[in-house]
Amino acid sequence: LAQATLAQVPAAPSLAVAPPLRRFCGVMASLIARFRPNQSGVLADLRRLTESGVVDVPQELLDPVVEAARSADDRSEIMRHLQDCLAEPNSKRWHRIHAAMVLVGELTKRGPPELFLETAQGHHFDLVQRLALLEHFQCSADRRVQAMVRAKAVGVRKEAVDRLQAAGDDAEDCGRGGGGGDAASTCTGPTAGSAGGS
């Protein structure tokens, strides 16, 4: 009798989550993340951004993280989170990987020069290598997602390389005692004081 009842039970519905429900789940996860004890504000912002589940990440999720990147402590936390997201082993969590690449792209455009100087000097993970690996991202379940993540990795890697090279050039200029008004303005530490002079 028990077997007959189990046979009559309809199959479970598809596990595919509708986009509005996915967004709702992302919003709820971000709200829960905000109220966790001992969690920094930037970490909550990072989780809200990378767990949003959307492809077109809204500017209001990016802005607080870009602003937080001006703080040395927050930069370290941002880069640790990006390293974790960009190394995500589960291709089903591709939204997280994609959102992290969107953030990297935004940081290349509006992030502080110190972030890229620190990255170029090896203070954080090898961002270019991680993006190069994502150019070969595998998602056999959805070739469209695979192509989108790969294309995003190619574009963001080019932007990151350009910004890291500029940071390296600025560091060389700083090491030589200035090298021009614009380069001197990005110098940090003792060289900035001697180069700026005002």
Q: pLDDT value at position 174?
A: 65
Task: List the chain pLDDT tens, one digit each, 198 residues.
Answer: 445 554 454 544 444 445 566 666 566 655 555 555 445 799 999 999 999 999 999 999 999 999 999 999 999 999 999 999 999 999 999 999 999 999 999 999 999 999 999 999 999 999 999 999 999 999 999 999 999 999 999 999 999 999 999 988 876 766 665 544 443 344 544 333 333 333
Q: pLDDT value at position 192?
A: 37
Q: pLDDT value at position 195?
A: 36
Q: pLDDT value at position 169?
A: 80
Q: pLDDT value at position 168?
A: 80
Q: pLDDT value at position 36?
A: 52
Q: pLDDT value at position 149?
A: 98
Predicted TM-score (pTM) of the model is 0.70
What digits encode the pLDDT tens for the residues 94-114? Answer: 999 999 999 999 999 999 999
The answer to whether 112 touches 70, Cβ cutoff 8 Å, is yes
The answer to whether 48 touches 33, Cβ cutoff 8 Å, is yes
